[in-house]
Structure 1
């Protein structure tokens, strides 16, 4: 029987949740507000929160100085491309680990996860030299390959967790009906794990979108995404906080909108299999 929750406890929980949410969101809110200030107001002491002369001049200056839409398109291609390729590789891999008995499955999963513990700078030089020699330097294809390999352990781990919650009896019934391996994965397993796959896709799009280390070191002009677009406003001439905030707001706005409209699917996927 469900335990009754008092109205007072509901109010306390709601207030605490909103307070934590505002605390986490405050840095983003401050960046958005700073983007509408002049450079003088952006560095004023004490800082002004809402009562200042609002201006959109920073956005016009940022667009004049940089081609925002080119950087935006590069981010879209790189993040979605790396995530889709990662899913194509990870779905069969996670299926094998979840439904094919093996004593080394956990060891393989831990080995894959351990690759995330290596500092990226440790392999920067060899990857940079390889990309330079094969012509992948400053190309969207090169970044797609790198980000796919970087995020692949996370994709496999998440999908493995979701697949483990699917009853194996369903797959065995499909095999008894004559379903081939390809049909089992495409038409039985994948549709049942749509919430988990969707949340994995969304999370890895966000990770690829926010990746800065590799995008700054492996690109120059042709394939630079929005992370490089933001970094271009930190120069030896000084930090222009208002313009930097405007560039940051333009870079995070698409992913914030995506997260807002897909939050229901994301939460559903992250809690997939939590309650039986």
Structure 2
């Protein structure tokens, strides 16, 4: 039998949809014909299960020796990664497959809830690199925390940059800003970042993706809904675009704070359903 530790990297590279399907199958068992309808049902079940049981599972995990040992050396605010959570689940008796897939799912769920390290994450290809760098510098001058992949040369040394990028583009930014052009849409790593962010946007149900079209570029309708609002580089200087990003981030954070305050008030009133 394959050990849980060997399975963790397999699920780490899965999309959220594939991960939820695998989690649903691990929790329910695989007596299905693996049709698209079955996969959708498994995914829906896994998302619902995480929403209802995720926090409870994390509390149970924190009672294990595996988690305690990790916590003794963890830095301030550090979140347990998939391997730690999978090891704790295995310690509690979960089989290898459930431990691996649930460990990854809980790690992503926790990161999505608690870790928004960046105000903005930009994604681009080289032909617009100078413009984007100017936008990033202007945004940072305004106080925004911006993810700019060229900054990660040392930090990502030896790591899978696609996997690391998915963590940022799918979980750790308040907004994702792709600079869309024919070159961007043809680049595999850029398309991967864009697909990750679009998937996150459907889960978050907000204007997470803020597209910027390079010059006169157009985006196929199957990649970006024609009704989605966008800006163009030709219409805005880097400083102007940075100012727009600042206004957007401030509004998003204010809305998020209001929503959380409202949710707390409802729960405390005892009238929530």
TM-score range, shorter chain: under 0.3
The structure with the greater share of residues assigned to strand is 2
Q: TM-score, normalised by structure 2?
A: 0.26
Q: TM-score, normalised by structure 1?
A: 0.26
The structure with the greater share of residues assigned to helix is 1
Structure with higher Rg: it is 1
Higher relative contact order (CA 8 A, sep 6+): 1
